[in-house]
Structure 1
Amino acid sequence: MDAGLAVQLATSAATTLVAAAATDAWRSARSGFARLLGRGDPHAEEVAGRRLDALADEVVDAPADQREEVRQQALATWQVRLSDLLEERPEDAEPMLVLLEEVQTRLPPVQQQGVQHITAAAPGSFAQGVMFGNVVNHPVPVRDGRNEDSDRSPL
Structure 2
Amino acid sequence: MLAEAMVAAAAAAGTTVVQSASSDLWTVFRDRCARVIGRGDPARESDALERLDRTAAVLDAADEEESGTVRDLQVGLWQGRFEALLESLGQEERERFVAELRALAEESADRSPGRGVVSGNTFSGPTALQVGDHNQQDNHFGSAG
1:28 aligns with 2:21: no
Q: How does 1:13-92 map to 2 (within 5 A)?
A: 13-87=13-87, 88=89, 89-90=93-94, 91-92=96-97
**Equivalence for 1:137:** none
Percentage identity across paired residues of the two chains: 34
| CA distance 1:28–1:39, shift in 2 (3 Å) | same
| CA distance 1:48–1:75, shift in 2 (3 Å) | same
Structure 1 position 84, deviation (Å) = 1.9
- Structure 1 residue ranges (4+ consecutive) displaced by more than 6 angstroms after TM superposition: none
Root-mean-square deviation (Å): 1.8
Computing the radius of gyration from Cα coordinates, the structure with the larger value is: 1
Are the equivalent residues in 2 in contact too, given 1:18–1:71 (CA < 8 A)? yes
d(CA) in 1 for partners of 2:108, 2:28:
7
1:110 aligns with 2:117: yes
The one of the two structures with greater contact order (alpha-carbon pairs below 8 A, sep at least 6) is: 2
1:7 aligns with 2:12: no
Gaps of 5+ in 2: 120-145
Structure 1 position 93, deviation (Å) = 1.5
Structure 1 position 65, deviation (Å) = 4.1
| CA distance 1:52–1:111, shift in 2 (3 Å) | farther
d(CA) in 1 for partners of 2:46, 2:21:
18
User: So what's the TM-score if we normalise by structure 2?
Assistant: 0.69
d(CA) in 2 for partners of 1:48, 1:93:
17
**Equivalence for 1:98:** 103
* Helix, strand or coil at the partner of 2:33: helix
Count, aligned residues: 111
Query: Could you report, residue by residue, the CA deviation over 1:22-58 in whole angstroms, capped at 9, with x for unpaired residues?
Result: 2113122211111111110111100110000000000
Amino acid at match of 1:57: A
d(CA) in 2 for partners of 1:16, 1:37:
14
